[in-house]
Amino acid sequence: MIENPMILFPLLILFLPLISFIIVIFFGKKLPRQGDWVAVGSIVTTFLLACYLFLQMLLNYDPDFSHGASFSWINLGEFKIDLGILVDNLTIVMLLIVTLVSSCTHIFSIAYMKGDIRYNRYFAYLGLFTFSMNGIVLADNLISMYMSWELVGVSSYLLIGHWFEKDSAANASKKAFLTNRVGDIGFFIGIMLLYSAVGAFAFSPIFESIAGGQAIAGTTLTIAGLGIFMGAVGKSSQFPLHIWLPDAMEGPTPVSALMHAATMVAAGVYMCVRLFPIFTPSALIVIAYIGAITAILAALIAVSQNDIKKVLAYSTVSQLGFMILAVGTGVYTAAFFHLLTHAMFKANLFYCSGSVIHSMHHALHKAHDHDTDPQDMRNMGGFKDKMPITYFSMLVSTLAIAGVPLFSGFLSKDAILAGTLSFAQHHPGHFLLPLFGFLAAALTAFYMFRLIFMTFHGKPNIKSIMKDIHESPKEMTGPIVLLGSLSFFIFYTLPKNFNPMKDKGWFTDLIVPRNSAVPGSLTANEIADYAHHAHYLAMGLSLVVASLGILLAYLIYQRKVISAKNISKRFGFFYDWSLNKFYFDENYNRYLYQPFLRLAHTISWLDWEFYDKYFINGFGRLTKLLSTISGKFDYSGIDQGFVDGFGRASNTVGKLLRNVQTGRLQNYLLFVVAGILVIIIAQAF
């Protein structure tokens, strides 16, 4: 089985990065160039292997294409866990995304991380991440998915905390891991629920059992689905666990591009897509609302942020919300389509921001300015001519994310909005879903162009550094150009369709939606049919909102006909909430972390100071008291009182009796007579 390239190559793609991790972490320091070539070499190899798989997929052009292999990991007779891989079109596309963005990140990092004190460890951790991410993608069962899931969390922890000397980075890494673990608890409970009902961990038997309707159904299945979805809420940074992703920007920018934009955070969406058949209609409603709320909430925050990476981070959160919304409304292949296009343009946006920050950093360094924040867009402006490659590439990707025709984001976002709209047409009670969706789309166009205008257009805000702002080296511009070009629509509609308004192409041919396993759900055909009817309306609306957003950004930040200050003053309250991210961190801190820590301290105090010192030691003291009393009793009572009392008594009696022994015969005779008298009297009665 392993000779089959469809099994062997995915296994190589899985394990090569792990091997690179082991080599670079242990021997990196001793290798030339600290072993970065090992990491880059292995990752590019996996990319080439993924390309081969992708080509095979295109040549086969079979939507049902699927291979798998597994081995027995734990076998206790009845209790068994088989781990295995599943290779189908979904897997292959995802593998291509991961290895492509990972390769770009590796190459980009050679220049970006040059001279870093932990250069080798950085590359090692990238390898660990790629391994874990591929593990999620290839999993054919819940256990190996969960295991890779957690390993992804760790590599994220290690990379966010790469510059751990900074407290903010150390805090952010811990926050990311713990927030993810909250989601993982739900994931694990979901796994246990499914296993205890179905008796299997692998996807296909689970789907079969659910379709059977006997083993698990109704509320239990809804809870199991929502539990599993909680894992996605954590990993894909959905409301209310979205708080970790913006902080994760403390990590190096290429890491943000790879993990916190393109792949790791998309794992939650991937999981929902993979496990779509298990979600009941009630679970899907919850999922849809979580996605919609996340999309709008993050977009509202993004409009007021000034840190270039924070804007992108909130934009990522918002886009992930779109994808989750799509899963919830049933058009889950649209979610995956958006995952694909988003991975390309968002990774590129991060690379471009990294390129800008890199350049700012060097310029500020030359000017001996250590106080200016190199990530604050208010310190930028007018970089367009200094960094033309970065500018144009970023512009292209911004057009994609804003949903402008000719670019990839238009196709995928349109598919999502059409699905949402058709869902609301059939369930009018849920009109908020498309409303939030379109609103978030408008805001996306607005804040992304705000970013472009503030960074690249207008007059420079700090003139002194402009002479040192220059284009980045080719290790960085290479990935920027590559991923920038992948923001054009044509790569997703080949080979048959050249119409930029239609999403039909290899993707829609090969990634086809499947029916939900839950009995009574809408079939995939019905969902697609409904979405198709809503398509034109959705397209029209999304064009309108995108142009409105861009226009507004243009008027405020380019032409400055509307003053941003005035608006923020007029909507002071909303502006404040947006700027402060709706006070999530503050409230969580106040109502969750602090009470929790206080609880821990109280319990610890109870345990150590109270329970142990008073209760347990109380036994000791009680015993001591008892022994003192019994000692007293023993000595003063029994020994001194009773035992010695005998002595004293006989002594006294003896003394008394001594008086009797006078030695005079007459007295004795008197006693004898008295005695006889007493006896006689006694006899008489």
Partner 1 sequence: MENILSLLIWIPIMGAIIVAFLPRDNENLVRYISAAITGLEFIVAIVLWRAFDPVNGSMQFMERYEWIPSLNISYILGVDGLSLPMVLLTAMLFFIGVFVSWNIKKAVKGYFALYLLLNAGVLGVFLSLDFFLFYIFWEVMLLPMYFLIGMWGGPQREYAAIKFFLYTLFGSVLMLIGILGLYFTCGKTFDILLIMERAPEALNGVLWWGMSAAKVIWVLLFIGFAIKVPVFPFHTWLPLAHVEAPTAISVLLAGILLKLGVYGIIRVNYGIMPDQVYWFAGGLAFLGLVNVIWGGLCALAQTDLKKLVAYSSINHMGYSLIGIAAVVAAGEMNGGDLKAAQAGLSGAVFQMFNHGTISAMLFILVGVVYERAHHRDIDGFGGLASQMPIYTGITALAFFAGLGLPGFSGFVSEAMCFIGAFPVFKAIVVLSTIGILLNAAYFLWAFQRVFFGELNEKYKDMKEINGMELFTVIPLAIITLFFGIYPGPYLDLIKATMDQIIEKIAFAASYGIM
Residues in the site for partner 1, rule: CB under 8 A? 73-79, 143, 146-148, 150-151, 154, 157, 161, 164-165, 167, 170-171, 174, 177-178, 181-182, 184-185, 188-189, 191-193, 195-196, 199, 597, 599-601, 603-605, 607-608, 611-612, 616, 620
d(C-alpha 424, C-alpha 376), whole Å: 40
Residue type, 526: E
- Provide the minimum distance between the beta carbon of 299 and partner 1 in the complex, in angstroms, as a whole number: 30
For residue 500, which phi and psi values (nearest 5 degrees)? -65, -10
For residue 80, which phi and psi values (nearest 5 degrees)? -135, 145
- Provide the minimum distance between the beta carbon of 168 and partner 1 in the complex, in angstroms, as a whole number: 10
What spatial distance separates the first Cα and last Cα of the chain, rounded to whole Å? Answer: 121
Which of 254, 230, 75 is closest to 160 using CA atoms?
Answer: 254
Residue type, 171: N
- Provide the minimum distance between the beta carbon of 604 and partner 1 in the complex, in angstroms, as a whole number: 4
- Provide the minimum distance between the beta carbon of 401 and partner 1 in the complex, in angstroms, as a whole number: 34
Which of 513, 546, 528 is closest to 410 using CA atoms?
Answer: 546
d(C-alpha 29, C-alpha 23), whole Å: 10
Nearer to partner 1, 181 or 502 (CB): 181
Nearer to partner 1, 112 or 177 (CB): 177
Distance from chain centroid for Cα 200: 26
- Provide the minimum distance between the beta carbon of 250 and partner 1 in the complex, in angstroms, as a whole number: 12
- Provide the minimum distance between the beta carbon of 120 and partner 1 in the complex, in angstroms, as a whole number: 11
**Is 115 exposed, middle or buried (CB count within 10 Å of its CB: 0-12, 13-18, 19+)?**
exposed
Do 357 and 351 form a contact (C-beta atoms < 8 A)?
no
d(C-alpha 213, C-alpha 521), whole Å: 12
Nearer to partner 1, 188 or 314 (CB): 188
- Provide the minimum distance between the beta carbon of 109 and partner 1 in the complex, in angstroms, as a whole number: 20
A 10 A CB-CB count for 671 gives 12
Q: Name the residue with tokens 């295995």.
A: 84
HSE (CB half, 13 Å, CA atoms) of 96?
Answer: 17
Nearer to partner 1, 28 or 403 (CB): 28
Crossing angle of helices 36-60 and 89-112, in 10° steps, is 150
Q: Name the residue with tokens 């991961």.
A: 98
Nearer to partner 1, 224 or 415 (CB): 224
Nearer to partner 1, 188 or 203 (CB): 188
Nearer to partner 1, 156 or 408 (CB): 156
Length of the chain: 685
- Provide the minimum distance between the beta carbon of 611 and partner 1 in the complex, in angstroms, as a whole number: 6
- Provide the minimum distance between the beta carbon of 181 and partner 1 in the complex, in angstroms, as a whole number: 5
Peptide bond into 240 cis (omega under 30): yes
Nearer to partner 1, 562 or 599 (CB): 599
d(C-alpha 230, C-alpha 287), whole Å: 10
Nearer to partner 1, 160 or 400 (CB): 160
Nearer to partner 1, 130 or 455 (CB): 130
d(C-alpha 338, C-alpha 262), whole Å: 11
Crossing angle of helices 408-426 and 524-553, in 10° steps, is 120
- Provide the minimum distance between the beta carbon of 84 and partner 1 in the complex, in angstroms, as a whole number: 15
Q: Name the residue with tokens 């009182």.
A: 641
d(C-alpha 220, C-alpha 223), whole Å: 5
- Provide the minimum distance between the beta carbon of 339 and partner 1 in the complex, in angstroms, as a whole number: 24
Nearer to partner 1, 192 or 643 (CB): 192
